[in-house]
Amino acid sequence: MEEVQRHSVHTLVFRSLKRTHDFFVANQSQLPEIDETLEKLKYNIKARDTYGLVFDRTAKAKALAAKRGDSDRIDGQNGVKDGVLAITAGGEQESNVLEGTTTQMALVPVATPASQNTSSAVQILPKKAPTIPKPKWHAPWKLCRVISGHLGWVRCVAVEPGNEWFATGAADRVIKIWDLASGKLKLSLTGHVSTVRALAVSPRHPYLFSCGEDRQVKCWDLEYNKVIRHYHGHLSAVYTMSLHPTIDVLVTAGRDSTARVWDMRTKANIHTLTGHTNTVASVVTQAANPQIITGSHDSTVRLWDLAAGKSMCTLTNHKKSVRAIVLHPSLYMFASASPDNIKQWRCPEGNFIQNLGGHNSIVNCMAVNPEGVLVSGGDNGTMFFWDWRTGYNFQRFQAAVQPGSMDSEAGIFSMTFDQSGSRLITTEADKTIKIYKEDDEATEESHPINWRPEIIKRRKY
């Protein structure tokens, strides 16, 4: 038996490379032939995917130009040549072609007396100066109670429909039930194995729903204080949840970029709402369309049709991640929060209303009460109080951290008003729960509205 000669690793690798080179050297310069038909098809698909909207608009514009050219020839005027678009002076000719479209799109009324001919210039009425409504006076808010008991960041809060108690979930994996009037601990629920990120209390059943970073969604029976259902399906941490106000449906969303719709009783995953490209940080539901609204770290807000399980509209106005969405309790509107600003929208199509600017940090949470007070909480502990209708910021302050805490633990993670709208509950990074209420002694004279419309006008228009 011959002894196998041992070589160094360098020699063996070099020989392997040489064999590979000798094997392929014969057809090294021979590239496969390019199929021109397939290449052209590939470029057409790419162009249609990227610029399809532009192509459609160009086709419509050319069709409109051709139609306008035909009507011009009927009137004895020069038609539009080669489909080239021209900006005309307007008048009766424009109105006849567009058949009322101009009246819908016009920003100012156009006066066209009968005595004018078609070639005359359009008369533009003087633009009316925009009126800025005066904001409603709201009493300033003050801290009235600090509750401690959790051993980690307090991430979520939910108030019971009867307004007697509220629940909080934290990074210590415990859900705690507190008496709303006294602030005393009533109950602790254990079962999650990671941070509890969202809670929801059912208004029609004795159920409390919870979800967390352990990918679990649980339904607790509050008569027995036990978990009676699990909803399995999320592939990663579950960050937010919402109960539908009229039907037995639960919506959860999280880091797997999806929102899932569950049948509360059968635990069936009715819909998986896909479309976001990053973590879904906030979800809200309402009885009217759109029934589900989600905000994501991909900087978009999506409006969903619950019956079809499809996206109705995508709002791309935000430049940074959207971590909070809140519905107005009585108006058909909602607000979304991002580090760039807070935006207000009108349902059902998501029409933009106005920006509320001022935060210079990540906005983690928002809450609004029936009086039209919108509150937003930042990652640096700042709290801003706004008048919903006008967007006027009537109060702002820095939430105080607990003695012994670092300044970096001033973040506000969640907030909600109680059922009466008179108390605001916040959960924070210093492991405490804070309750705020309006200052009863404040009056419109002691805390006047610092409202200067000329400055607002310069900023907005």
Of 306 and 79, more confident: 306
Of 46 and 117, more confident: 46
Q: In the predicted model, is pLDDT for residue 102 greater than 60?
A: no
29: pLDDT confidence band, cut at 50, 70 and 90?
Answer: low
Please indicate, yes or no, if residue 380 is contained in any of the structural domains.
no
Please indicate, yes or no, if residue 167 is contained in any of the structural domains.
yes
Count up the domains in the chain and report the number: 1
Q: What is the CATH number of the domain that holds 325?
A: 2.130.10.10
Structure tokens at 7: 């070589």
Q: In the predicted model, is pLDDT for residue 263 greater than 60?
A: yes
Q: In the predicted model, is pLDDT for residue 104 greater than 50?
A: no
Please indicate, yes or no, if residue 138 is contained in any of the structural domains.
no
451: pLDDT confidence band, cut at 50, 70 and 90?
Answer: confident
Averaged pLDDT of the chain:
85
Mind listing the pLDDT tens digit for each residue in 216-260? 999 999 999 999 999 999 999 999 999 999 999 999 999 999 999
Cα Rg for the chain, rounded, in angstroms? 31
User: What mean pLDDT comes out for the span 377-397?
Assistant: 94
Give the long-range contacts of residues 169-174, CB within 8 A, separation 24 or more: 169/195, 169/196, 169/197, 169/198, 169/199, 169/210, 169/212, 170/195, 170/196, 170/427, 170/431, 171/195, 171/196, 173/212, 174/150
Burial of 21 (0-12, 13-18, 19+ CB in 10 A): exposed
Distance between CA atoms of 185 and 176, rounded to whole angstroms? 7
Please indicate, yes or no, if residue 83 is contained in any of the structural domains.
no
Please indicate, yes or no, if residue 47 is contained in any of the structural domains.
no
User: What mean pLDDT comes out for the span 381-402?
Assistant: 92
Please indicate, yes or no, if residue 346 is contained in any of the structural domains.
yes
Domain region containing 243: 155-372
CA-wise closest residue to 288 among 271, 305, 309, 269: 305
- % of the chain residues with pLDDT over 90: 62
Please indicate, yes or no, if residue 38 is contained in any of the structural domains.
no
At residue 314, the pLDDT reads 96
Of 353 and 30, more confident: 353
Distance between CA atoms of 233 and 214, rounded to whole angstroms? 12
Question: Which residues is 250 bridged to in the sheet?
Answer: 243, 262
What are phi and psi for residue 153, nearest 5 degrees? -55, 130
Please indicate, yes or no, if residue 329 is contained in any of the structural domains.
yes
